Amino acid sequence: MRNTRSTQLIFELSRPGRRGGHMPSLDVPEAALEALLPAGSLAKAALPLPEVPEPEIVRHFTNLSTLNMSVDTHYYPLGSCTMKYNAKRNERLASLPGMLDVHPLQPDETIQGMLQMMYEMQQALAEISGLPATCLQPAAGAHGELTALMVAAAYFRDLGEKRTKVLTPDSSHGTNPASATMAGFKTVTIKSTAQGLVDLEDLKSKLDEEVAVLMITNPNTLGLFEPNIAEVADLVHQVGGLVYLDGANMNAILGVARPGDFGADMMHFNPHKTFSGPHGGGGPGAGPICVTDKLEPFLPSPAVVKQDGVYRLDYERPRSIGRVRSFFGNTGVLVRAYCYIRTHGGAGLRQVAENAVLNANYLLSQLADVLPVPQGNRCMHEFVGSASKWKAELGFTAMDLAKRLLDYGFHAPTVYFPLTVRESIMVEPTETESKETLDAFAAAVKAILAEDPELVHSAPHSTPISRPDEVRAARQPVTSCPVL
Amino acid sequence: MPYFYNTDDDRREMLEAIGAASVDELFQSIPADLRMDRPLEVGPVLTEVELTRHVGALAGQNAHAGNHVCFLGGGSYDHFVPAVVDMIASRSEFYTSYTPYQAEVSQGNLQVMFEYQSLITRLTGMDVSNASVYDGGSAAAEAVLMAISCSKRDGRVLAPESVHPEYRATVETYLENIGTRLETLPATAGRLDLEQLSAALADDVACVFIQHPNFFGALEEMEEIARLTHEAGALLVVSFDPISLGLLQRPGDYGADIAVAEGQSLGTPMQFGGPYLGIMTCKQEFVRRMPGRIAGETVDREGRRCFVLTLQTREQHIRREKATSNICTNQGLFALRATVYLSQMGPQGLREVSNGCLQKSRYAIERITSNPRFELAFAQPTFKEFVIRDTQNQVEQLLATSRETGILAGIPLGRWYPDLDDCLLVAVTEKRTREEIDAWVASLTGETSARKEQHTNCCHA
């Protein structure tokens, strides 16, 4: 049924003289352009944009959409990404004109409903994190990391301390060291133990008074809660450093444990993960951060405050780091996250974590005999298996399994991250999947292991394309369709 | 909870398979003294019916472009969004998918990224576009960091006051910890003074960062600025208005090295400031220093054309602390919206939108300045925005009066420019009608507008 024409580029569908949208004729006097603008500022030629009528545009993009796997069409156990169900009510409510068509620079008195929701969102995230002060401005998780590190830098500058280092475990997300560089810090890597936890001895050897921040993901990227987290935080605090919690894995501990209670001074949330996104094909996200009281003065401006029952944006923040983007924040994402939080309530959020952890442990139990998990037989919301045994015995890799799973109608797990496990396969089921789906996924993995390795190695066989030549794409980059 | 599957029976079976006595046992790696002993307090649970009522009530308290006539701009605009944009972007195969790491099941997203990049390079005349960054402000900051890296100069970055104050503030925040200084040049006549630029340029300047049309809506002298900047060995970073390119010279035409934009105008609703679309483009020679995802064309094993994420060795998941940026998002859904918008508009439609903005804003200028109370703050040619001065210096009162007639009349500039505290920044998009503009004039001048009532009820497009 797939329409093969759907893979033509929009430019290849263009014919001179065709068009989609029409604007109404001008209802004001029209002056010659040359009379209004300097001749040198005007374009010399028509833009080389495609000329396509509306029905063709709709068919083109609708057909393209069918070439994607998505949460609404497939099981998507992509580790570290928390691909849970994206509630339709959230989409509808975020699309109300009173949310969608609000200009970001309207006077406070015209946006009291919006400000109330954002104020309540600040409070909800403070409660969930155990950290009292929230900033909703950052646009993504990595942006939240960067913002928090800038806040830390401002805090130490204010104290008159010169601290240059950020510590991150070797299993951390790549964004952690990249954010540290952008905030002007040097990254120092902390080793993990064979159990996949922070190596305390290595941490101690690298702690000194030049350490500004330890960035830690907890539960970590192996899906393990760091049992020594309180001691880790104490060690960092003893040298005057701050602890940053990468909140990517908050889905595992919602309502169970709070970063502020286990020693974090600052953290970010990924509302597009934990509070159900949606992910939008790679964005938008949001990256609100929560911090302790002593760091609050340095948060970006503005914050939503409430005085005498009236909400307003407070720009009077003299010690603030300033701004990390234009306007208030990724409000559309935050509105959906607010709806998600209110739909679950406090007890419901804990059930999110419980079901996410239950599903992950169940799937682990169904796969453990074929997919060795070096870090043990229990996990939080995700687990990381190693395919290195298959590579030796069957001749196919983690990537081969990932590709073959596509033929079975499952999105692949994350592969080759974290870097600390060889041939890693990172599976995050999420709480919005059934036991039957998890059973079917486990059965698919087992069926693949019994297949002819060559069939697996050459997979996928039933997807719109077979494996692309990535080397060619990188060596001879073609990143746009040339104008003929 | 509405989105869970597990029944008590499921839980029992699953725990049995795991070999655990209870769900609590699965959390035993969390030390007991670190666990919560009370439920989170985030307000009472709301069913869908209750949530709809609650959020509806909050939304109902907000003025918006559907029940007010919006003359606000400053980086976010009430442009018309065609229905095809909303319909395509509401396909859940697009909005519930994630980053296309598995190219074989993501060709829809990857081809859209490639078409987006192609449309943006055609729109801007630049060589390369990435698949987008967060928004106009952070795109500006990323562009400045990229220029520092490309120019190998880290002393100063120059930007005139006519650049969006929030973009300058963002750049300043990003530069704070890396030692490069943002030097703000005056724009007393509403645009950069070329002599001031010449005087400030030296061999420690990494780049000159210009917005064109600028925050005041005025055109900068781009060809001269480009010449002076390049003669000094610095790079030219431009923030442009995508809609303006239906009429104006493109950044690639006047020699921009890196061109960025707030892409909200291309089919994304205003939604109180985000999520938006950070457009980012550069010359070919700088592509390996470009942050963000890039889609590239290649072939599959059967030789069929297909698309993948490429040049990933620039990115954080591979390069970690040596990456070009920490960014690991593109605004996929809004890049999709821009792709559909530009396809729907085509060259002719975009020119009509652009011309509509220009002609209607000129009409608004003529009408308002025919009243002696109001004058243009600056004499420069403008595109879709302009700054008017209330010679009676009662901006806040004027705005309140206008609001009573259902008009959001402009943005007061005093917060950013104390010298302009008697001024309003006004944006007129192609959506505004002559009647709405007349009503806007009437609301500011006190002249009567016979049809005022209609505007407060105008239907939202």
What pLDDT does residue A224 have? 96
Gap between the Cα atoms of A39 and A264, Å rounded: 59
Rounded mean pLDDT of chain B?
Answer: 95
CA distance B264 to chain A (A): 12
> How far, in whole angstroms, is CA B423 from its chain's centroid?
24
Distance to chain A for B270, nearest Cα, Å = 5
Interface test with B, best of A8, A62, A101, A137 (most B CBs within 10 A): A101
- Of the pLDDT bands very low, low, confident and very high (cuts 50, 70, 90), residue A484 is confident
In chain B, the residue whose alpha carbon lies closest to the alpha carbon of A329 is: B274
d(CA A463, CA A410): 11
pLDDT class of B315 with cuts at 50, 70, 90 = confident
Question: Quick one: CATH architecture of A89-344?
Answer: 3-Layer(aba) Sandwich (3.40)
Query: Could you tell me if A376 lies within 8 Å of chain B, comparing CB atoms?
Result: no
The pLDDT assigned to B460 comes to: 41
The answer to whether the bond into B275 is cis (omega within 30° of 0) is yes
Tokens of B339: 């792709």
Record the tokens describing residue A467, joined without a space: 């494996």
- Smallest Cβ–Cβ distance between A21 and the set B67, B334, B344 belongs to B344
Nearest to A363, CA basis, from A379, A374, A375: A379
- The pair of three-digit structure tokens given for residue A219, joined into one six-digit string: 């539960």
In chain B, which residue's Cα lies nearest the Cα of A69?
Answer: B105
pLDDT in the model for residue A3? 59
B169 pLDDT tier (thresholds 50, 70, 90) = very high
Distance CA B348, CA B337 (A): 19
Q: Residues A304, A117: contact at Cβ < 8 Å? A: no
* pLDDT > 50? residue A332: yes
Give B-chain residues touching A79 at CB under 8 angstroms. Answer: none
Helix ranges (H only) for B38-157 are 48-60, 83-89, 92-95, 107-124, 136-151
User: What residue spans of B61-106 are helical by DSSP H?
Assistant: 83-89, 92-95
Q: Is B61 within 8 Å of A116 when comparing Cβ atoms? A: yes
B418 vs B161: CA distance, rounded Å: 12
Beta bridge partners of B385: B427
B250 CB within 8 Å of a chain A CB:
yes
B259-281: average pLDDT:
98
pLDDT of A187 strictly over 60: yes
| pLDDT over threshold 80, residue B459 | no
Mean pLDDT, chain A, whole residue set = 96
Q: What residue ranges do the domains of chain B occupy?
A: 69-81+347-456, 84-339
Q: Is the distance from CB of B133 to CB of A142 less than 8 angstroms? A: no
Euclidean distance between CA atoms A117 and B264, whole angstroms: 23
C-alpha neighbours within 13 Å on the C-beta side of residue B73: 27
**Chain B nearest CA to A450, separation (Å):** 23
**Residue B123 pLDDT exceeds 90:** yes
pLDDT band at B448 (very low <50, low <70, confident <90, very high): low
Task: Judge whether residue A5 has pLDDT over 80.
Answer: no
pLDDT at A123: 98
DSSP codes, A366-385: HHTTTS--TT-S--SS-EEE
- What pLDDT was estimated at residue B458? 42
pLDDT exceeds cutoff 80 at B203: yes
Mean pLDDT, residues A250-262: 98
Per-residue pLDDT at A211:
98
A residues 420-439 lying closer than 8 A (beta carbon) to B: 431-435
Q: Which of A102, A109, A373 to mutate to test the interface with B (most CBs of B within 10 A)?
A: A102
The pLDDT confidence band at residue A2, using thresholds 50, 70 and 90, is: low
Q: Record the tokens describing residue A236, joined without a space.
A: 């960092």
pLDDT single digits (tens) A61-86: 999 999 999 999 999 999 999 999 99
pLDDT band for A4, please (50, 70, 90 cuts): low
Instruction: Tell me whether B205 touches chain A (CB under 8 Å).
Output: no
State how far residue A394 is from chain B, nearest Cα, in angstroms: 22
Q: Is A348-470 in CATH node 1.10.3720.10?
A: no
Q: Which chain B residues have a beta carbon less than 8 Å from that of A69?
A: 97, 102, 105-106
CB atoms within 10 A of CB B185: 17
Q: What is the pLDDT of residues A463-483, one digit of tens each?
A: 999 999 999 999 999 999 999
pLDDT at B316: 87
Q: How confident is the model at residue B452 (pLDDT cuts 50, 70, 90)?
A: very low
Could you tell me if A286 lies within 8 Å of chain B, comparing CB atoms? yes
Q: What is the pLDDT of residues A208-228, one digit of tens each?
A: 999 999 999 999 999 999 999
Q: With CB atoms and an 8 Å threshold, state whether A66 touches B108.
A: yes
- Give residue A376's pLDDT band: very low, low, confident or very high (50, 70, 90): confident
- Nearest-angstrom CA–CA distance, B260 and B243: 13
Average of per-residue pLDDT across A145-161: 98
Question: Rounded to whole angstroms, how far apart are CA atoms A444 and A424?
Answer: 18
**If contacts are CB pairs under 8 Å, which of residues 138-167 in chain B contact chain A?**
138, 141, 145, 164, 166-167
Can you give the residue ranges of every domain in chain A? 89-344, 348-470
Closest CA–CA distance from residue B199 to any residue of chain A (Å): 24
Average pLDDT over residues B424-436: 98
CB B196 within 8 A of CB B210: no
Q: Are the Cβ atoms of B342 and A49 closer than 8 angstroms? A: yes
Partners of residue B39 in chain A, C-beta under 8 Å: 255, 345-347, 350
Task: Please write the tens of the pLDDT for every residue from A389-435.
Answer: 998 999 999 999 999 999 999 999 999 999 889 999 999 999 999 99
Average pLDDT of the residues in B164-185: 97
Residue B151 DSSP SS3: helix
- Can you spell out the DSSP letters for A2-30? --GGGGS-GGGG--TT--S--PPPPSS--
Two structure tokens written together for B366: 């003529």
CATH superfamily ID and name for B69-81+347-456:
Aspartate Aminotransferase, domain 1 (3.90.1150.10)
Which CATH architecture fits B84-339? 3-Layer(aba) Sandwich (3.40)
